[in-house]
Chains A and B, each alone.
Chain A
Amino acid sequence: MSLNIVVLAKQVIDPEMPMSAFQVDRENRQVVTPANIPPVVNGFDENAVEAALRIKDTQDATVTVLSMGQSFALDVMKKPLSMGADSLVLLQDEAFQNTVDSFTVAQVLTAAIRKLGDFDLIIAGRQASDWDNAQVPLAVAELLDLPSITIGKKVEVGDGRVNVERQTPEGTEIVEAPLPAMVTVSNELGQPRYPTLRGIMAATRKQPTIWSAQDLGVNTSKLQHQVETVDLYLPTTDKECEVIQGEDEADSGRLLALKLREAKLI
């Protein structure tokens, strides 16, 4: 019996972009999409794709990648396909402009998962690097009444259960739940695989399925945002760094230690 895995992946502004390119439009309370820096698949979501593919490496499984947004960079969003995912479903609608309200995002994703029909396991990233909300997967799990396990670093499936090794601040935990279930993964899972040439070729041929709000039966006028942004700004620091400069680098190191003693910090 084939296992149906759904991966939730979000397109985000590249978090590795230079800080100087990061700007906010305070009036409209949103981050300015940088013109010359392409978006990326959220890093933890690439880990989610990798987790799904590792399961598919060992057993018969289908991996469907699901993403919701207002507009997509297709070449970017096809990356999971070139890594080896089977299909890509984009939930795209003018009305999906605010993807920072986890409550509404979760409702749209849930409608799409229901429309997909059978699924055994949903894998998502632990958080999206835009708003660092870390809520959508848990909200989806709640709406679908699924058990949820977070911050996985190893995900295995067998006997109708998912077994997850999760990262904790103290070490690791092994946790299990019956399928269907929601699992979020973190970077501790390890490097996502690189697309192979064959994978890239296959991905070029595949076209994503695109569903609008109407296709999903989602009444956009009822998608009430539950969390509203009233201000958005760049934090300022007033810290002044005292650069310790000795005769050479070693001397600077020595003076630094003396400075810390003088300041009674050590």
Chain B
Amino acid sequence: MADSTGILVLGELENSSLTSTAKELLAAGRILADSLDQKLSIGIVGADLEPSAQDAIAHGADQAYLVNNALLSEYQPELHLAALSHICRQAGPSIILMGRTESGRELAPRLAVRLGVGLAQDCLEVSIDPDSKRMIALRPVYGGNAMAAVVCTGTPQIASIRPKAYEPLEADPSRHGETVSLDLDLDPSMARVKLVERVEEESEGVQLETARIVVAGGRGLGGPAPFKDLEVVAKLLRAGIGASRAAVDAGWVPPPWQIGLTGKTITPDLYITVAISGASQHMAGCSGAKVIVAINKDSEANIFKEARYGVVGDWKKVLPAFTETLRELVE
């Protein structure tokens, strides 16, 4: 693919509209496209795509490739993979960006192999090396203990970007761009993986991913009961509530509460941690928090290296007074 050119973002839809991750990818892609002086395209698959294509163009795309097919309206890995690889082959980009989302996690590695190349996984930042004109991708490794700068040696170069690593661009409805509809025959028998049932454990509280304030507890809470105390704080502050993996593994709270590398990524203005040591894998999920607060009895705990405010002490003594004062302040 010597004459590969352009940046291609593969965007996802939710309820028929472009996800915020897709817009973040467009913001990242725009930077690459401008430094290479190449076009930025988006590839979208599903049904009724025209509005999303226009939305993508307003958010920075120059062009949209669409695969319109009713079989793609629900996520199914094999059919989506077939459609995405079709777009990649037709568009022939030099760089492909995907989101490290739930489906991106499944699709990106397979797509890369299908295109005969390797994937730069879970990147926080991508840029163009001024000399080689290749993409340099920055990614945490070893649970965030180290940072690696990597380049893909093949073409296309492909990276998956951690959600919320970029801010979407302001929508500019005056932007214009071309949409290209691609035909693709999909055979339903390609879909080997079948969804049997989906069980949502939706917590009644505030959504973690979008919460402005998050409160979370760790192993140092010692059991499930103290999470009730945290729930009181969360209610007072209209905050989301989460946990470390240690608390989830102990069975104190359900897995959807987990924040971190293999849990949720949160970006609140305020993140209050109680009895969490701040292991790098935990911090990987909250590095986008503006202000971190730590209550921990160990002054050497790593969390104090990341926190803005901290109390060194036993939560059993600190938390009740903290909660009471909060109540007086907010009521």
Partner of B213, one of A133, A138, A188, A266: A266
Is residue A115 within 8 Å, beta carbon to beta carbon, of the partner chain?
no
Are A237 and B120 in contact, with the CB atoms below 8 A? no
Q: Which residues of chain B are near A120, meaning CB under 8 Å?
A: none
Q: Which residues of chain B are near A227, meaning CB under 8 Å?
A: 118-120, 150-153
Are A228 and B291 in contact, with the CB atoms below 8 A? no
Is residue A254 within 8 Å, beta carbon to beta carbon, of the partner chain?
yes
Chain A proximity mask over B239-257: 1 for CB below 8 Å, otherwise 0: 0000001001100000110
How many A residues have CB within 8 A of the partner chain?
85
Is residue A159 within 8 Å, beta carbon to beta carbon, of the partner chain?
no
Q: Which residues of chain A are near B295, meaning CB under 8 Å?
A: 253, 256
How far is A102 from B160 in the complex, measured between Cα atoms in Å? 14
Are A256 and B309 in contact, with the CB atoms below 8 A? yes
Mark out the residues of chain B between 278 and 331 whose CB falls within 8 Å of any chain A CB in the assembled complex: 280-281, 291, 293-295, 299, 302, 304-314, 317-326, 329-330
Is residue B148 within 8 Å, beta carbon to beta carbon, of the partner chain?
yes
Are B324 and A174 in contact, with the CB atoms below 8 A? no
A-side binding surface: helix, strand, loop or mixed?
mixed
How far is A20 from B255 in the complex, measured between Cα atoms in Å? 29
Is residue B201 within 8 Å, beta carbon to beta carbon, of the partner chain?
yes
Is residue A199 within 8 Å, beta carbon to beta carbon, of the partner chain?
no
Beyond A148-B106, A241-B309, is A130–B141 a contact (Cβ under 8 Å)? yes
Q: Which residues of chain B are near A245, meaning CB under 8 Å?
A: 311-312
Are A176 and B196 in contact, with the CB atoms below 8 A? yes
Chain B proximity mask over A169-198: 1 for CB below 8 Å, otherwise 0: 111111111100100001110000000000
Partner of A31, one of B140, B142, B200, B309: B142
Beyond A138-B106, A266-B326, is A232–B197 a contact (Cβ under 8 Å)? no
Are B121 and A132 in contact, with the CB atoms below 8 A? yes
Are A249 and B196 in contact, with the CB atoms below 8 A? no
Are B147 and A170 in contact, with the CB atoms below 8 A? no
Are B194 and A150 in contact, with the CB atoms below 8 A? no
Is residue A261 within 8 Å, beta carbon to beta carbon, of the partner chain?
yes
Are A263 and B196 in contact, with the CB atoms below 8 A? no
Q: Which residues of chain A are near B144, meaning CB under 8 Å?
A: 235
Is residue A248 within 8 Å, beta carbon to beta carbon, of the partner chain?
yes
Is residue B1 within 8 Å, beta carbon to beta carbon, of the partner chain?
no
Are B121 and A133 in contact, with the CB atoms below 8 A? yes
Closest to A224 in B: B153
Are B142 and A257 in contact, with the CB atoms below 8 A? no
A17 to chain B, nearest CB (A): 10
How far is A110 from B63 in the complex, measured between Cα atoms in Å? 38
Are B102 and A168 in contact, with the CB atoms below 8 A? yes
Beyond A135-B119, A138-B109, is A241–B262 a contact (Cβ under 8 Å)? no
A-B residue pairs in contact (CB < 8 Å), sample of 22: A100-B141, A103-B118, A131-B141, A134-B122, A168-B198, A171-B201, A171-B202, A176-B193, A181-B192, A227-B120, A231-B148, A239-B306, A240-B308, A241-B307, A243-B310, A250-B317, A253-B318, A253-B319, A256-B309, A256-B322, A258-B325, A260-B293
Q: Which 8 residue pairs spanning A and B have beta carbons closest together?
A: A226-B118, A253-B322, A257-B325, A253-B321, A249-B317, A135-B109, A138-B109, A249-B313
With A253-B317, A257-B326 given, name 10 new contacts (CB 8 A).
A100-B141, A135-B119, A139-B110, A171-B198, A181-B192, A232-B141, A239-B307, A245-B312, A250-B321, A253-B322
